[in-house]
Chain A
């Protein structure tokens, strides 16, 4: 039974991401490291950032980020450093350059379009009410017919 536990302890990968030995002594630097970790994607995982992932490569990246921070890099410099090596795939926040403008502009542009269309529709509906006295000719005729029955 004991041996069984040992075997499982060996095959088991770590169950949580950031390990105690990674944590930096300086709380301000550590906080920046955590923020940056949430901005970087674990390249072998499915949509997890390196802060959440317990894959080995995520750990390596976390250590790399901390190393750069300790050496005095700014947050941007750290991100650039990682992007240079792994490509923009690692950025959780897509850049605003090139075709990504479409991505970022979709929300505001669509909202503007929808508001204009909605506004025009509302104006049509509210103006439709001003002229008519309530019933169209057909409706009036039908009403008369019903009343005269």
Chain B
């Protein structure tokens, strides 16, 4: 019953979405106020209907209603409640429903909080957003219906892939989708502005929070995914350059570029058409990501549904939206007159460089991701493009970005001289060189990766601090420190985002340069040494969890005669899917992680054990979190709210047309 109601709500949502796409758009064209105004209740209704459908599906998962095909395929009555709920989006149909839920949520939020938008722009934004809803609702109903029943329900389900039964991964998809779909708002604003033929500072101010929010969610989502890979896959890798990972990384890079170019639109009314193009591209790459994940054209470790029909449908959506928007862009971009005038050396130029580096690096990732497909289709070659390619082709962009970021961030608008910020940044540079040199001297190998990474990371963090302190103006140190607390939140957000990136850089290079690994057979009671730690395999026992059986080791880690930690790595087998997983035991530390994995019993009665010492591992995700926090702090800047209020009062002053 609940299921049928959910199904029905979803169909109604599609009808509402079609209505919301057409009526406000016509209203905006003709200037009919009430036709434009219906967009707001329609957006709310659409959201409520999709939420009802999503609620119905969640209910089916929670109550283990195995008459539903989807629940049977992806759930099991013994599964812990958390994973029953996360099972809703741990599969193709449910995750695409979550996707649409977020599309409609963002649409509704634009309706609720967009009071200050000019009514015409608002109607168009909501109509475009709703068009995206139409496409994906149709996609669900026609190719991926989650509400299909089974004629003969089985007694129990087939369980969720055990690798996905993990708290890190339970929340990874919702964050990613919030990010992907958040970019749909920037897209809707861009298309609405193109229809309108007008982009101004206010537009930049409207787009920026949405993009920022999307970027924050993407950052958290990608960070969670990478953290999960690190502890779950059992060998401590954190990024694989897998097509699906790239699918989330490309929109992240574009969102970062868009975020910065929208600043130029907002503050200087320049880079307008470029910003519009970026907004289209950012969402376009979100759609490409969806296509890559869902169509299965590019094999990947975590592609879930390989179905050509779905692939074609998404390709069609991609073609209509991106192609349509780009055509509109080609026709209208010239009408977006640039206003700002600025010198070759200026904040504007620095942001142009930022955009070039981010956009080109993202396209490098894109080409690398689809190259196996292109090579097979056009050159008859079956080949692979793996991590070494991306490391070689992508990393240089990030090195240059890291080098110029602190300098560019401090240049004044309009016209600048390099000498001034360079002088202010001299201490940061000196510190970074010192750290790099120290690291070079201390490390045992002669790899350049560690020292260069530490140099760049320190340079970015110290540069961001100098930048913030520089904002306090002149005067005595005390007075300047006091002024720090009164700086706009956006300045603090910038510090956190730029500094966080530096910390992530240090984490990645430290982990990649100095990771120590040991593989051996240990008998129970054996002690062995890895990188100065004495590790004892004290016991191995077997146990059972709610829906798995486990082999758990008890291992003692000592250093210089003192106990560092006691760890319990596990190897689990989930009987329903007959699949083993490793549960590495990790002692997280500020400078290093101790990472233990227990393997298979050996013929001589010992156990295979793998030990890793992973320096700076946590810095990677700490940096991601700090970046995301920076985005949130910027988002809370009162200038957005003040601006929103100001725009509202002027909008009311203009007589209705």
Chain A residues with CB under 8 Å of chain B are 4-5, 8-9, 11-21, 23, 38-39, 41, 45-49, 52, 87-95, 98-100, 103-104, 106-107, 110-111, 114-115, 118, 121-123, 125-126, 128-129, 132
Shortest B613–chain A CB gap in Å is: 16
Give 1 or 0 for each of B264-301: 1 = CB within 8 Å of chain A CB. Answer: 00000010000000000000000000000000000111
The answer, among A14, A38, A99, A118, for a CB contact under 8 Å with B381, is A99
**Residues in B neighbouring A41, C-beta threshold 8 A:** 384, 386
Asked if B356 contacts A118 (CB within 8 A), the reply is: yes
The answer, among B234, B242, B300, B396, for a CB contact under 8 Å with A16, is B234
Known: A89-B384, A107-B397, A111-B356. Is A52-B608 also a contact (CB below 8 A)?
Answer: no
Asked if A125 contacts B340 (CB within 8 A), the reply is: yes
Asked if B610 contacts A16 (CB within 8 A), the reply is: yes
Known: A19-B599, A20-B602. Is A94-B384 also a contact (CB below 8 A)?
Answer: yes
The answer, among B237, B243, B360, B599, for a CB contact under 8 Å with A110, is B360
Known: A12-B580, A46-B301, A99-B375. Is A123-B344 also a contact (CB below 8 A)?
Answer: yes
Stretch at the interface among B27-35, B180-188, B484-492, B571-579: B571-579
Query: Max chain A CB contacts within 10 Å: which of B301, B349, B580?
Result: B580
For residues 234 through 254 of chain B, which have their beta carbon under 8 Å from a beta carbon of chain A? 234-235, 237, 240, 242-243
**Residues in A neighbouring B597, C-beta threshold 8 A:** 15-16
Chain B residue nearest to A93 in the complex (CB): B388
Chain A residue nearest to B517 in the complex (CB): A34
Whether B307 sits at the interface, judged by CB under 8 Å, is: no
Whether B26 sits at the interface, judged by CB under 8 Å, is: no
The answer, among A8, A11, A114, for a CB contact under 8 Å with B359, is A114
Asked if B599 contacts A15 (CB within 8 A), the reply is: yes
Asked if B519 contacts A20 (CB within 8 A), the reply is: yes
Chain B residue nearest to A12 in the complex (CB): B580
Q: How far is A89 from B380 in the complex, measured between Cα atoms in Å?
A: 12
Q: How far is A89 from B352 in the complex, measured between Cα atoms in Å?
A: 38
Stretch at the interface among B14-22, B202-210, B364-372, B642-650: B364-372
Asked if B303 contacts A46 (CB within 8 A), the reply is: yes
Whether B521 sits at the interface, judged by CB under 8 Å, is: yes
Q: A88-B382, A92-B384, A94-B371 are in contact. List 8 more A-B contacts (CB 8 A).
A: A15-B581, A41-B384, A92-B389, A94-B385, A104-B393, A106-B393, A121-B352, A126-B342
Q: How far is A98 from B383 in the complex, measured between Cα atoms in Å?
A: 12
The answer, among B344, B379, B397, for a CB contact under 8 Å with A99, is B379
Asked if B368 contacts A47 (CB within 8 A), the reply is: no
Shortest A85–chain B CB gap in Å is: 14
Asked if A16 contacts B385 (CB within 8 A), the reply is: no
Whether B549 sits at the interface, judged by CB under 8 Å, is: yes
Whether B343 sits at the interface, judged by CB under 8 Å, is: yes
- Count contacts on B: residues with CB < 8 A to the other chain: 68
Asked if A8 contacts B352 (CB within 8 A), the reply is: no
The answer, among A4, A17, A45, A103, for a CB contact under 8 Å with B368, is A103
Asked if B364 contacts A107 (CB within 8 A), the reply is: yes
Chain B residue nearest to A22 in the complex (CB): B519
Q: How far is A93 from B241 in the complex, measured between Cα atoms in Å?
A: 12
Known: A9-B601, A39-B388, A47-B301. Is A20-B363 also a contact (CB below 8 A)?
Answer: no
Give 1 or 0 for each of B291-325: 1 = CB within 8 Å of chain A CB. Answer: 00000000111010000000000000000000000
22 residue pairs bridging A and B, Cβ less than 8 Å apart: A12-B573, A15-B571, A16-B610, A20-B519, A41-B386, A47-B240, A89-B383, A89-B384, A90-B384, A91-B383, A98-B379, A103-B375, A104-B393, A106-B364, A106-B367, A107-B360, A107-B361, A107-B394, A114-B360, A121-B352, A125-B342, A129-B341
Q: Is the interface of B mostly helix, strand, loop or mixed?
A: mixed
**Residues in B neighbouring A17, C-beta threshold 8 A:** 235
Shortest A43–chain B CB gap in Å is: 9
Whether B467 sits at the interface, judged by CB under 8 Å, is: no
Asked if B381 contacts A49 (CB within 8 A), the reply is: no
**Residues in B neighbouring A114, C-beta threshold 8 A:** 356, 359-360
Whether B582 sits at the interface, judged by CB under 8 Å, is: yes
Whether B2 sits at the interface, judged by CB under 8 Å, is: no
Chain A residue nearest to B382 in the complex (CB): A89
Whether B353 sits at the interface, judged by CB under 8 Å, is: yes
Asked if A118 contacts B353 (CB within 8 A), the reply is: yes
Shortest B604–chain A CB gap in Å is: 10
For residues 586 through 607 of chain B, which have their beta carbon under 8 Å from a beta carbon of chain A? 597, 599-602
Whether B338 sits at the interface, judged by CB under 8 Å, is: yes
Q: How far is A14 from B610 in the complex, measured between Cα atoms in Å?
A: 13
Asked if B371 contacts A16 (CB within 8 A), the reply is: no
Shortest B71–chain A CB gap in Å is: 25
Shortest B387–chain A CB gap in Å is: 6
Asked if A99 contacts B378 (CB within 8 A), the reply is: yes
Known: A20-B519, A20-B602. Is A48-B301 also a contact (CB below 8 A)?
Answer: yes
Shortest A103–chain B CB gap in Å is: 5
Query: Max chain B CB contacts within 10 Å: which of A18, A47, A94, A118?
Result: A47
Q: How far is A82 from B599 in the complex, measured between Cα atoms in Å?
A: 28
Asked if B341 contacts A52 (CB within 8 A), the reply is: no
Give 1 or 0 for each of B604-636: 1 = CB within 8 Å of chain A CB. Answer: 000010100000000000000000000000000
Q: How far is A121 from B601 in the complex, measured between Cα atoms in Å?
A: 65
Whether B520 sits at the interface, judged by CB under 8 Å, is: yes
**Residues in B neighbouring A121, C-beta threshold 8 A:** 352
Query: Max chain A CB contacts within 10 Å: which of B364, B396, B575?
Result: B364
Query: Max chain A CB contacts within 10 Å: which of B367, B368, B386, B601?
Result: B386
Shortest B53–chain A CB gap in Å is: 32
Q: How far is A48 from B371 in the complex, measured between Cα atoms in Å?
A: 17
The answer, among B389, B575, B582, B602, for a CB contact under 8 Å with A15, is B582
Q: How far is A20 from B520 in the complex, measured between Cα atoms in Å?
A: 5
Kindly list the 7 A-B residue pairs having the minimum CB-CB distance in the complex, ordered from nearest: A92-B386, A129-B341, A93-B388, A99-B379, A107-B364, A8-B573, A12-B580
For residues 524 through 551 of chain B, which have their beta carbon under 8 Å from a beta carbon of chain A? 542, 549, 551
Whether B65 sits at the interface, judged by CB under 8 Å, is: no
Asked if A18 contacts B384 (CB within 8 A), the reply is: no
Asked if B341 contacts A128 (CB within 8 A), the reply is: yes
**Residues in A neighbouring B581, C-beta threshold 8 A:** 15
The answer, among A11, A20, A122, for a CB contact under 8 Å with B352, is A122
Whether B348 sits at the interface, judged by CB under 8 Å, is: yes
Q: How far is A21 from B599 in the complex, measured between Cα atoms in Å?
A: 12
**Residues in A neighbouring B375, C-beta threshold 8 A:** 99-100, 103
Chain A residue nearest to B233 in the complex (CB): A52
Asked if A23 contacts B301 (CB within 8 A), the reply is: no
Asked if B349 contacts A122 (CB within 8 A), the reply is: yes
**Residues in B neighbouring A23, C-beta threshold 8 A:** 519-520
Chain B residue nearest to A18 in the complex (CB): B519
Shortest B279–chain A CB gap in Å is: 18
Q: How far is A12 from B353 in the complex, measured between Cα atoms in Å?
A: 52
**Residues in A neighbouring B601, C-beta threshold 8 A:** 9
Q: How far is A126 from B394 in the complex, measured between Cα atoms in Å?
A: 31
The answer, among B235, B356, B549, B573, for a CB contact under 8 Å with A52, is B235
**Residues in B neighbouring A18, C-beta threshold 8 A:** 519
Q: How far is A31 from B599 in the complex, measured between Cα atoms in Å?
A: 21
